[in-house]
Amino acid sequence: MIAIRTMLRKLRADERGATAIEYGLIAALIVIAMMTGLQSMGGGVGGMWGKLGNAANEHMPS
């Protein structure tokens, strides 16, 4: 019984798991922000490539 209490006290004092979870949450938030930013830029870039392709097709000899 004393060994279990001692082990539980050690686990309560150990903060390595909490730190790993915090880093994981920060990384997840960064990935979500990057995905949101890339999605908003994706439409503009796609439109640019479409216009460029259309312009190239207009000037290509048939």
Show me where the domains of the chain are located: 14-57
Q: What is the pLDDT of residues 3-21, one digit of tens each?
A: 888 877 877 777 777 788 8
pLDDT surpasses 90 at 27? yes
3 backbone φψ class: left, alpha, beta (φ>0; ψ -120 to 50): alpha
Determine the Cα–Cα distance for residues 16 and 6; give it in Å rounded to an integer: 18
Better-scored residue on pLDDT, 16 or 55: 55
**Amino acid 31: pLDDT:** 94
pLDDT surpasses 80 at 57? yes
**Amino acid 43: pLDDT:** 65
